[in-house]
Amino acid sequence: MRKLILALFLLFLALIVGLPVVMVGIGPRPIPPLTPVEVEVHLFRHDTGEVVSIPLEEYVKGVVAAEMPAEFEPEALKAQAVLARTYAVRRLRVFGGPGLEEEPRADISSDPARGQAWLDKAGLRKKWGLLAYYRYWSRVSAAVEETRGLVLTYKGELAESLYHSTCGGHTESAQEVWGKDLPYLRGVPCEFCQDSPHYRTTMQIPLTQVAERIGAGGAVATMAAGSPGIGVVQTTAAGRVKMARLGSVTLKGPDFRAKLGLPSTWVNLRVEGDRLRVDARGWGHGVGMCQYGARGMARQGRNCTEILGYYFPGTEVKTIFSE
């Protein structure tokens, strides 16, 4: 009798101890993180005035979705993800970056004028529409996850990961735009963006608006008289405006573009009656990766690393996390 009681007790004990093991083995098991640490971005949301903390990879998804058309080829989206991540990591305080000067609690802003554009999921549903949202978000998420932790480097340091919509046939040197000479940010020819809707643009601006925007009323009379008071004084090696004259005012290329609201500084200027005709090529500052060019390269079978290597010669793609 005692042997029977002891056997029943041992069987009961085995069932009690073994039960949690059996239960744990049933159902889905979480996949461990792909990165050793979870890095967060302290983001200043310029639309709400809040500072929010977002995991780095989720932040990158919001940037890629906001900065590049989601229907672009996967390898172009991957290239954009690497650049967006690099841009952020350079500024994260946890990596020794400067953070956002005007907001000490933040690393970076969602205002594209002060950093990179970024949208949350609600903003993306509004941008894409509910039906397209799930398809586009899936594409963007895949591009970010497949490049998780990857950044662009030059000689072991984080590179300046600049990009723009459309170069118009040749990218620009950082030296020409900002006076900063970087070996990997010198202009390269680009035959890959010719199907961009921004490859060529024509604008006509009333001369009165031109004068108002540059803050020189006397410029109107000079230009309207048909004298050589308007034109490009000097161009860069790539063909963009380095110095332009508008009546009595001379402007540097970037200032000229900003004041007149032009798509780029690669322009031809002509006065037609009481209007300034601007025939422009490309869209953006022209430095770094041409986004439509990246799409064109991806369509030709180039991968993410090849695209980045073309627009940023001498750079390497590496992970920010230790192996």
Each residue's pLDDT tens digit, 2-13: 443 444 333 333
Q: Are residues 130 and 208 in the same domain?
A: no
Q: Is residue 173 part of a domain?
A: no
What is d(CA 72, CA 140) in angstroms, rounded to the nearest whole number? 10
User: Taking the model in full, what pTM does it have?
Assistant: 0.85
Q: Are residues 153 and 48 in the same domain?
A: yes
Q: Is residue 187 part of a domain?
A: no
CB crowding 226-254: b at 16 or more within 10 Å, else e: eeebbebeebbebbbbbebbbbebebbbb
Q: Is residue 67 part of a domain?
A: yes
Q: Are residues 68 and 151 in the same domain?
A: yes
Residue 21: CB atoms within 10 A of its CB come to 8
Q: Are residues 237 and 310 in the same domain?
A: no
Nearest to 119 by CA among 62, 64, 71: 62
Burial class (CB in 10 A: 0-12, 13-18, 19+), 73: buried
Q: Are residues 143 and 249 in the same domain?
A: no
Give the best-scoring range by mean pLDDT among 27-31, 66-70, 227-231, 270-274: 66-70
Which residue range is the domain that position 156 belongs to?
40-161+303-319
Each residue's pLDDT tens digit, 104-134: 999 999 999 888 999 999 999 999 999 999 9
Q: Is residue 296 part of a domain?
A: no
Q: Are residues 263 and 307 in the same domain?
A: no
Q: Are residues 110 and 60 in the same domain?
A: yes
The number of folded domains in the chain is 2
Q: To which H or E segment does residue 51 belong?
A: strand 50-55
Q: Is residue 240 part of a domain?
A: yes
Q: Which pLDDT value is given to residue 108?
A: 96
218 confidence band (pLDDT: 50, 70, 90): low
200 confidence band (pLDDT: 50, 70, 90): very high
Q: Is residue 313 part of a domain?
A: yes
Q: Is residue 35 part of a domain?
A: no
Q: Is residue 307 part of a domain?
A: yes
Each residue's pLDDT tens digit, 244-254: 988 778 899 99
Average pLDDT, the chain: 86
Q: Are residues 124 and 224 in the same domain?
A: no
Q: Are residues 213 and 108 in the same domain?
A: no
Q: Are residues 157 and 209 in the same domain?
A: no
Residue 117: CB atoms within 10 A of its CB come to 18
Tell me 159's DSSP state.
-
Q: Are residues 226 and 314 in the same domain?
A: no
Alpha-carbon dihedral sign for residues 248, 253, 257, 262: positive
Mean pLDDT (whole number) for 233-253: 91
Q: Are residues 146 and 206 in the same domain?
A: no
